[in-house]
Chain A
Amino acid sequence: MSTREGADIDASLETVSRTEDDVRLLVDETVYSREAVLRACYWFTDRCYLFVSRPGPQRLLVSIRAKPGGPSLDGVAGDFGNALLDHQVRQEIERETSRIRELIVAKAFAEGNLLDDPPVGDDRDPVEVTRSQAPGNIAPPTDEPE
């Protein structure tokens, strides 16, 4: 997070105003997605009052106002910046690892024989089946438990 007074401004998350009542953070959507902003806001509605507006393309303005008796405004604003980063990183990791997660889940289900329904019909050798059903013949042992 940076301020207008900062010499080298990190424009991805900039404090554009700070009053006694509220802090306004300008979020660069090319760095932090709208989804990350919404998720961060969702997790902060119990700590502070939030309002989100769009001042321009690729920019979201998050106004944070302290709740009476709640945590300090500066503390909440700092935590919000961290939460925003956290959600963005989670989202990127999720996107990067989604394929491998799908493979792991598919493999786990396949090994447990839970993925597919049992095959339709009978996949046993019809000759063996006929032989086993002939009078006087003893059915061959199967792998299935009694």
Chain B
Amino acid sequence: MTSAAHAHVRVLVHEVYDPGSLLQAIEDYQLHLTVSILRREEDRTAVTFAAPNGEQPAEQLVHEFLNYLLDLSVRSILGAA
């Protein structure tokens, strides 16, 4: 069980979530969601989410972001799917 403080930390493996696509998605969502990179390793990046006012973001918005990131990443990794 994750604590509330870590509820919105996600570890994104690069073989699924392309780092370039992550930067693009962060930029595209910056008005709605603050995505901070906690740590970056060779094969994965840990990110955390916050609302622009610094509070916990809406769960649905985080999921929308992750779906958008997945779309961008698949296109980047495999070409047009």
How far in angstroms is the closest Cβ of chain A from B19? 15
Residue of B nearest to A68 (CB): B60
B74-A53 in contact (CB<8A): no
A41-B74 in contact (CB<8A): yes
Whether A38 touches B60, Cβ cut-off 8 Å, given contacts A51-B10, A51-B66, A54-B15, is: no
* B63 touches A (CB below 8 Å): yes
* A43 touches B (CB below 8 Å): yes
* B67 touches A (CB below 8 Å): yes
How far in angstroms is the closest Cβ of chain B from A19? 12
A53-B70 in contact (CB<8A): no
* A52 touches B (CB below 8 Å): yes
A38-B13 in contact (CB<8A): no
B78-A39 in contact (CB<8A): yes
* B81 touches A (CB below 8 Å): yes
Q: Count of chain A residues with Cβ under 8 Å from any Cβ of B? A: 17
Whether A41 touches B70, Cβ cut-off 8 Å, given contacts A49-B63, A53-B13, A54-B13, is: yes
B13-A45 in contact (CB<8A): no
Residues of chain B within 8 A of A41, CB atoms compared = 70, 74
* A86 touches B (CB below 8 Å): no
Chain B window 33-55, contacts with chain A (Cβ cutoff 8 Å), 1 for yes, 0 for no? 00000000000000000000000
Whether A42 touches B10, Cβ cut-off 8 Å, given contacts A50-B70, A51-B66, is: no
* A65 touches B (CB below 8 Å): yes
- Which of A34, A39, A53 has the most chain B CB within a 10 Å cutoff? A53
Bound-complex Cα distance A54 to B17 (A)? 11
* A94 touches B (CB below 8 Å): no
Residues of chain B within 8 A of A10, CB atoms compared = none
A34-B66 in contact (CB<8A): no
